[in-house]
Amino acid sequence: MQDQFQGRKYVIQGLFIVTTAILLLKAVQLQLIDTSLREQASANVIQKINKYPSRGLVYDRNEKLMVNNKAIYDLMVTYDQVKDIDTTKFCQLLGISREVFIKKLNPNFASRRYSKSKPFVFLKKISSETYARFQESLYEFPGFFVELRNVRGYAFNTGSHVLGYIGEVNEKHLKKDPYYQSGDYIGISGVEFAYEEYLRGVRGVDYVLRDNLGRIVGSYEKGERDTASVSGKDLISSLDLDLQMYGEELLQNKRGGIVAIEPSSGEILAMVSMPSYDPNLLTIGRGRGDAYTTLARDSLKPLFNRAIGAQYPPGSIFKPVMALVALQEGVTEVNRPISCRGGYIYKTLRIGCHGHPTAMNVSQAIQHSCNAYFCQIFRDVVDKNGFSRASQGLDVWTDHLYHFGLGKRLGSDVPNELTGNVPTSEDYDKMHRKGAWTSPYIVSLGIGQGELLITPLQMANISATIANKGYYYSPHLVKSFKNDTTQIPLKYRTKHFTKIDTSHFRPVIDGMEDVVLAGTARIAQIPGIKVCGKTGTAENPHGADHSVFIAFAPKDNPKIAIAVFVENGGYGSRYAGPISSLMIEKYLNGEISDARKYLEERMKNANLNK
């Protein structure tokens, strides 16, 4: 029995020795070899650091880089962690005053954008030199840290209205989309806004441990909770950079818009609005606010995108549409002659017209832009069911216009597109009392005047629709995504059809060709290219009339459809026609022929802003 107890004694002693040895070894490991626990013990804060992705780049249709990224540094702060810092040294390092320091550290905490316990932007866009100087002393300023960000840079001073700009999220953005956090950047306008979800990428995050001096002492849980950022998709826009820059050059010192579309796809080749501004002025930075204020106060309204936001009476460029509607409704024939005695005359009503031979058919009526012809066929449509039933005829007319994309948004990816105005029978019932108006009251609609209003984008779309003989694609600014199989949205690959039979387009297209060959737009002729166009002079009660022109080319298998609108430019053949033809020649031939250099110089040097 005694031997048995003696054996147990040795076993127990052995266990104690082994256990003690294990504990000693573990202590040595923890205290001398593995410092992780010591680091965690000294860490006061687990901090989440955002890793912002590179925003997707934007190229033109030929893959010329238009919008790139520039690295900047944002100084972030968590208010509750700021303790006993040397504010004098802090301000000197950053080149700011004490007043700015106090203001930046105390934003409106009542707003959802800010919280005392969460990081927010203290100072944006710190230069590389300032960052390098400040970084050496960052440990002295608990609560502050630096985040690497990307802001936009523009390789060319062009396309500001269509490319758009980015800005910091506001409360509306935070409420609408939980993805965003205070201090994030978001597309505000143009392509940046329309394709924000594609361009922004996916934000990543690192969780780090900081000590009481704000120094990083390690990653939290060995980085197991960290996530990588994913760069945004690179977008190949539909724009032709050279054409866009050329259009802005031709329209300089003028007010107006140019929209060029590829009819076979609906891709926008150029969208010009003048006056414009340098897109680099609105990149994220300290001077941005002042730049925006200056632009907003400019009387010429350079921030206003006239291509989609201005609504004008189309004038005579509407006449091809009017001819198509009348032909479709069977109220006229292709070879119907209508005499013009200096204009359209009905009782005491007179709408003047310029001198020209009698239009013997639809094509000649378009060639000579005869007001009498189109006033008459407009009345024929409206009075189709009887003179006293004008509302029924007008409803048919408006329905046709809706199918041409007028009076509504075209569904473009250009933000803030306006609808224009197509007046309805209900509108005239309110204006004149129901049953109190007839076709002579509204006859000016047939020549693109009256209450009819359309945007330059809609004008270009009319041209594309005629070029396609009856259908269009919603105009859009995206062509594809670079090195990515993502397709552009289905709505930009879907045809929208008018109610006009294809057979009715040939005489209208022939007439538009004759406008350029022997009509009101001879100046728009391009050697070797069959151009189909229509001039317009939109009446302006506030000053000189507006110069308007729509066109497409070549006549067969068109590659470009265009609309040009020049405010106070007078006749369509004075400015809009020449600018359109130069844009067409530039796009199709790559250069302007020597024989037309004089016209190019005249358009470039014309100043209508005096």
Pairing of strands 235-237, 58-59: parallel
Question: What is the per-residue pLDDT across 202-214, written as a single tens digit (0 to 9) for each?
Answer: 989 888 887 665 5
Average pLDDT on 206-225 reads 74
Long-range CB contacts (< 8 A, 24+ apart) of 484-493?
A: 484/233, 484/234, 486/198, 486/233, 489/413, 491/411, 492/266, 492/413
Give the pTM. 0.85
* Weakest-pLDDT range from 63-72, 216-225, 361-370, 430-439: 216-225
* Residue bearing tokens 């005249």: 602
Distance, CA of 571 to CA of 473 (rounded, Å)? 30
pLDDT value, residue 222: 77
As given in the structure block, the two tokens for residue 226 are 């960290």
Chain CA centroid to CA 576, Å? 23
As given in the structure block, the two tokens for residue 307 are 């291509």
pLDDT value, residue 199: 95
Our CA dihedral for 25, 27, 28, 32, rounded to 10 degrees, sits at 160
CA angle 594, 240, 271 (to 5 degrees): 100
- The CATH class given to the 47-155+193-236 domain equals alpha beta
How do the domains of the chain map onto residue ranges?
47-155+193-236, 241-279+303-605
Distance, CA of 334 to CA of 490 (rounded, Å)? 37
pLDDT value, residue 29: 60
Write down how long the chain is: 610
Residue 415 phi, psi (nearest 5): -60, 150
* Weakest-pLDDT range from 108-112, 336-340, 523-527: 108-112
Residue 363 phi, psi (nearest 5): -60, -45
Peptide bond into 507 cis (omega under 30): no
Our CA dihedral for 159, 163, 169, 173, rounded to 10 degrees, sits at 130
Distance, CA of 75 to CA of 148 (rounded, Å)? 9
Distance, CA of 544 to CA of 343 (rounded, Å)? 21
Residue 549: strand pairing partners: 535, 564
CATH number for the domain whose boundaries are 241-279+303-605: 3.40.710.10
Per-residue confidence band for 28, with pLDDT thresholds at 50, 70 and 90: low
3-state secondary structure of 583: helix
Our CA dihedral for 228, 231, 233, 237, rounded to 10 degrees, sits at 170
* Residue bearing tokens 């090195």: 483
Distance, CA of 7 to CA of 4 (rounded, Å)? 5
Q: Which residues of 116-125 are buried (b: 16+ CB within 10 A; e: fewer)?
A: eeebbbbbbb
Question: What is the per-residue pLDDT across 274-306, written as a single tens digit (0 to 9) for each?
Answer: 999 988 888 776 677 888 889 999 898 999 999
pLDDT value, residue 39: 46
pLDDT value, residue 41: 47
